[in-house]
Amino acid sequence: MKEYCMRNIKTLITIVFLSVGIAYGENSFAQSREYLLKAGFLEKFTHFIEWPGTVSSETFRIAVIGENKFGNALEDIFSKVKIKDKTAEIVYISSVDELKDCMILFISGKMDNKLDDILNHTTGKPILTISENSGYGKKGTIINMLLVNDYIRYEINRNALSKSGLKMSSLLLDSATIIKTDE
C-alpha cells in the first residue's frame, strides 16, 4: 500500500511539473530561475562593496536599463533588506540620463548599441555596473555575470573597478574571474 501511494505521489509531481513546463514554456521557466539567482547575487554583492564617502540620499538606488527580465524578483529581495542602512529603491530606466543618484546599474540583456554611451556616463563614477553578456566585462563593466552550465559565474574588471572609486572585498575578488579592459 505504501509503495502504491509513493508511486501515485511521484506521478502527480511529474504531471504538475510537466503542466507548468507546458503552460509557461521551458525558456521562461529556466529564465525566471536564472533571474531569481541573479537578483540574489546583486543583493549579496552589496555586502562586499564599499561606496566612497557617504550616500547622501535616503534610499539606495538600483537601476535596471534594458528589458526587465527579473519580474518582481528584485523588489521581493530588496524589500526585505537594507543596504548600507538604507532602503533600496529599484528603478527601470531607458537612458543614461535617468541615472541620477544611482549606486548600482544592471545592464539587462544585449545593449550593444547603447553600451558605449552607458560606460561613457558611468566610468569614473561610484556606480557599480553589472552586465550579463559575454565580452561586456572586457568592454568596461565592473561585474559581468554569465550563465555557465546552469551556474551563475562572474567576472570582475579590475581596471573599471579602480576607476570607479569603489572598494571591493577580497572575498568577492577571490571568487571571480579577473579580467582587464580592452584598451
92 in any annotated domain? yes
- Can you give the CATH number for the domain in which 110 is found? 3.40.50
φ, ψ of residue 52 to 5 degrees: the values are: -70, 145
Tell me the whole-structure pTM to 2 decimals: 0.80
CA separation for the pair 183, 144 (Å, rounded): 17
Domain of 154, in residue numbers: 32-179
109 in any annotated domain? yes
Digit-coded pLDDT (tens) for 20-34 = 333 333 444 444 789
Number of domains in the chain: 1
Q: Give the helix/strand (H/E) hosting 141.
A: none
129 in any annotated domain? yes
11 in any annotated domain? no
Cell, residue 141: 563593466
18 in any annotated domain? no
74 in any annotated domain? yes
Digit-coded pLDDT (tens) for 43-90 = 999 999 999 875 567 889 999 999 899 989 999 999 999 998 899 999
82 in any annotated domain? yes
CA angle centred on 60, ends 58 and 64, rounded to 5°: 140
3 in any annotated domain? no
Place of cell 572609486: 165
